[in-house]
Amino acid sequence: MTDLSFPPLPGALPDKRQVAASFSRAAASYDSVAELQRDVGQQLLDRLPPSFMPQRWLDLGCGTGYFTRALGARFGASTGLALDIAEGMLNHARPQGGAAYFVAGDAERLPLQAASCDLVFSSLAVQWCADFATVLSEAHRVLKPGGVLAFTSLCVGTLYELRDSWRQVDGLVHVNRFRGFETYQHLCAASGLKVVSLENRPHVLYYPDVRSLTHELKALGAHNLNPGRPGGLTGRARILALVEAYEQFRQAQGLPATYQVVYAVLEKPL
Ligand SMILES: C[S@@+](CC[C@H](N)C(=O)[O-])C[C@H]1O[C@@H](n2cnc3c(N)ncnc32)[C@H](O)[C@@H]1O
């Protein structure tokens, strides 16, 4: 059952076609800058129950397929399916293998039969879904009893240094919006799945300058796609003001960019 007291956020998250187009464009550059994504996904793999051996697994929001290949290597005898909303990502992932099937689809409307998977693995994808209650109910539907949903996501506080710096410059939305951790807690508790673990851990990356950070976000396809984002070119004066504002956060290691990562393992009751 989903919790209707936490409705979708109309207009607060980007349009799905824009998300798909942005990630498709980023497919070729993504892996060269995806240090955080690899680290977070590896930590999610480490959280899977040690003796767990799914017959059928789903990599939901597989991107370039880095974790599809890791899952394929770990669960060699099983059947894997990699799914993403961005065709460009699937075209990049498919030739590299790891799963038996690579399918275009939406996490909020899975093209899978009920009770068809033992594991739904999803790393850093569901923060792009406006209706997370539906993502959970879809995971619940496709999992077999005893099956596991393991996901990571991002929550409020992610890239707060960039958000605050832009706010000082023009007060506009320049950073993607994220759900609060307490919303993840409420929705997971109301999902009908048993919450085995759910935690929020910050990861901080350091950059020599603001340009390196914004170029990386673009290479990942994760730059700002929010409705309400400023259109047109970003003028030189505003960039200089942004750089000056962000410098206030500088530490010995460089300019910090904080990611608030959610790690979750849920189980469908028998
Ligand atoms: C940051 S990438 C993560 C990719 C991969 N899981 C990893 O850890 O490297 C997020 C991926 O989620 C996909 N995505 C976003 N919204 C989605 C949706 N509604 N359904 C399926 N995939 C989605 C994007 O196209 C993108 O490939």
Q: pLDDT of 101-123, one tens digit each?
A: 999 999 999 999 999 999 999 99
Nearest to 122 by CA among 269, 248, 266, 268: 266
Q: What is the pTM of this model?
A: 0.91
Q: Is the pLDDT of residue 230 over 80?
A: no
Instruction: Report CA(87)–ligand 1 centroid distance (Å).
Output: 11
**Cα–Cα distance between 49 and 197 in angstroms, integer?**
11
For a mutational test of ligand 1's pocket, the pick from 35, 124, 131, i.e. the residue with the most ligand atoms closer than 8 A to its C-beta, is: 124
Nearest to 126 by CA among 91, 83, 161: 83
**Cα–Cα distance between 95 and 26 in angstroms, integer?**
17
Query: Within a domain: residue 64?
Result: yes
Task: Please count the structural domains in the chain.
Answer: 1
Query: Within a domain: residue 8?
Result: no
Q: Work out the mean pLDDT of the chain and round it to a whole number.
A: 89
pLDDT mean over 19-38: 87
Portion of the chain with pLDDT greater than 70, in percent: 90
pLDDT mean over 42-63: 96
Nearest to 120 by CA among 203, 197, 58: 58
Query: Within a domain: residue 2?
Result: no
Number of C-alpha atoms within 13 angstroms, CB side, residue 56?
Answer: 12
Which is more confidently placed, 3 or 44? 44
Q: What per-residue confidence (pLDDT) applies to 228?
A: 54
Q: What per-residue confidence (pLDDT) applies to 226?
A: 59
pLDDT mean over 126-151: 97
Nearest to 139 by CA among 131, 79, 229: 131
CATH code: domain of residue 204: 3.40.50.150
Q: What per-residue confidence (pLDDT) applies to 223?
A: 64
| Residues 17, 123, 258: CA angle, nearest 5 degrees | 95
Q: What per-residue confidence (pLDDT) applies to 265?
A: 98
Q: Is the pLDDT of residue 227 over 90?
A: no
First-residue to last-residue Cα distance in the chain: 16
pLDDT band at 3 (very low <50, low <70, confident <90, very high): very low
Q: What per-residue confidence (pLDDT) applies to 38?
A: 95
**Cα–Cα distance between 1 and 193 in angstroms, integer?**
9
Q: Are the C-beta atoms of 189 and 243 separated by less than 8 Å?
A: no
Query: Within a domain: residue 10?
Result: no
Q: What per-residue confidence (pLDDT) applies to 5?
A: 30
Residue 252 is encoded by which pair of tokens? Answer: 């010995």
Residue 168 lies in domain? 16-267
Query: Within a domain: residue 1?
Result: no
Q: What per-residue confidence (pLDDT) applies to 33?
A: 75
**Cα–Cα distance between 241 and 232 in angstroms, integer?**
17
Q: What per-residue confidence (pLDDT) applies to 191?
A: 98
b/e sequence 158-189, b meaning 16+ C-beta within 10 Å? bbbbbbebbeebeeebbbbbbbebebbebbbe
Query: Within a domain: residue 137?
Result: yes
Instruction: Report CA(62)–ligand 1 centroid distance (Å).
Output: 6
Alpha-carbon distance values, 248 to 58, 90, 164, 213, 219 (Å): 43, 40, 11, 15, 25
Query: Within a domain: residue 5?
Result: no
Say how many C-beta atoms besides its own lie within 10 A of residue 204's C-beta.
Answer: 12
Which is more confidently placed, 252 or 17? 252
Q: Is the pLDDT of residue 178 over 70?
A: yes
pLDDT band at 63 (very low <50, low <70, confident <90, very high): very high
Q: Which atom, in ligand 1's list, is nearest to the CA of 23?
A: 25
Which is more confidently placed, 31 or 269? 269
Instruction: Report CA(171)–ligand 1 centroid distance (Å).
Output: 29
Q: What per-residue confidence (pLDDT) applies to 215?
A: 87
Query: Within a domain: residue 127?
Result: yes
**Cα–Cα distance between 1 and 122 in angstroms, integer?**
21
pLDDT band at 1 (very low <50, low <70, confident <90, very high): very low
Ligand 1, atom 1, lies closest to the CA of 124
Alpha-carbon distance values, 26 to 4, 23, 32, 92 (Å): 35, 5, 11, 10
Residues whose beta carbon lies within 6 Å of some atom of ligand 1? 16, 19-20, 23, 34, 37, 41, 61-63, 66-67, 84-86, 89, 106-108, 123-125, 128-129, 222
Q: What per-residue confidence (pLDDT) applies to 9?
A: 42
